């Protein structure tokens, strides 16, 4: 039989309980659950810059327990970042061929509008739209994907640290 669970002191409870993309329904998502003590350990060790011994004392637990909690929290955050990065690389792999196709062949709107003139306010538009596909598009697309991944990973953690759990639970129901 294991040792009894020791209460942990949480000084900064989160103000929300979950984060998800807005365009995906909750049942379709795989959850990565970051417990409140894991969030507190990240806050103390990484955000506040405390040593593990001092942070463990702050939470009222042993240094070994704090280290185990922090290790698991880092694993979960890394999993979220890696999965987000994988998604951005996959989006890049699918988006670049589509952009190349638009740049070389273009999108032909004559099939949609027929042979009628495409004019707006006496300005005639070419019914075949071609995009610009230069060498600069690849690093730009990768940079945008990486920035989106980092921001989508960090903002939920930052927002969770500032969310009151009682308010978040009332809003969800």
Per-residue pLDDT tens digits for 95-145: 778 777 777 777 776 666 666 666 555 555 666 666 666 677 778 777 887
- Does some domain include residue 16? no
Tell me how far apart the alpha carbons of residues 95 and 46 are, in angstroms, rounded to a whole number: 35
C-alpha to C-alpha distance for 98 and 102, rounded to whole angstroms: 6
| Mean pLDDT score, 15-29 | 71
pLDDT band at 173 (very low <50, low <70, confident <90, very high): very low
39 touches 163 (CB < 8 A):
no
Cα separation of 119 and 113, whole Å?
A: 12
Task: Report pLDDT for 70.
Answer: 93
Establish if 37 belongs to a structural domain: yes
Tell me phi and psi for residue 56, to 5 degrees: -65, -40
pLDDT in tens, 139-162: 877 788 788 777 777 767 777 777
Residue 82 domain boundaries: 26-172
pLDDT at residue 1 is higher than 80: no
Residue 128 has φ and ψ, to the nearest 5°, of -110, 115
Q: Is 15 domain-assigned?
A: no
CA atoms within 13 A on the CB side of 161: 15
125 lies in some domain: yes
Specify if 18 maps to a domain: no
Q: Which of 150, 161, 147, 172 is nearest to 34 (CA)?
A: 161
Between CA 138 and CA 171 the distance in angstroms is 41
Q: Calculate mean pLDDT across residues 19-41.
A: 77
The average confidence (pLDDT) of the chain is 76
How many structural domains is the chain composed of?
1
6 occurs within a structural domain = no
Q: Is residue 101 part of a domain?
A: yes
Core vs surface per residue 5-29: b (16+ CB within 10 A) or e: eeebebeebbebeeeeeeeeeeeee
Whether 88 is covered by a domain: the verdict is yes
Residue 114 is predicted with a pLDDT of 62
Short-list 13, 64, 71, CA closest to 42? 71
Percent of the chain with pLDDT over 70: 66
């Amino acid at each position: 039989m294991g040792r009894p669970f020791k209460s942990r002191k949480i000084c900064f409870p989160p103000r929300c309980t979950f984060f998800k993309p807005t365009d995906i329904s909750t049942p379709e998502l795989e959850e990565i659950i970051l417990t409140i003590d894991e969030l507190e350990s990240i806050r103390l060790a990484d955000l506040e810059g405390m040593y593990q011994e001092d942070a463990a004392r702050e939470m009222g637990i042993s240094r070994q327990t704090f280290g185990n909690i922090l290790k698991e929290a880092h694993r979960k955050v890394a999993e979220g970042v890696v999965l987000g990065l994988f998604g951005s690389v996959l989006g890049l792999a699918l988006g670049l061929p589509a952009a190349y196709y638009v740049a070389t062949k273009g999108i032909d709107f004559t099939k949609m509008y027929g042979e009628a003139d495409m004019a707006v306010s006496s300005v005639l538009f070419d019914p075949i739209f071609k995009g610009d596909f230069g060498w600069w598009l690849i690093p730009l697309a990768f940079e945008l994907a990486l920035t989106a991944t980092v921001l989508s990973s960090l903002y939920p953690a930052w927002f969770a640290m500032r969310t009151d759990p009682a308010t978040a639970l009332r809003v969800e129901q």
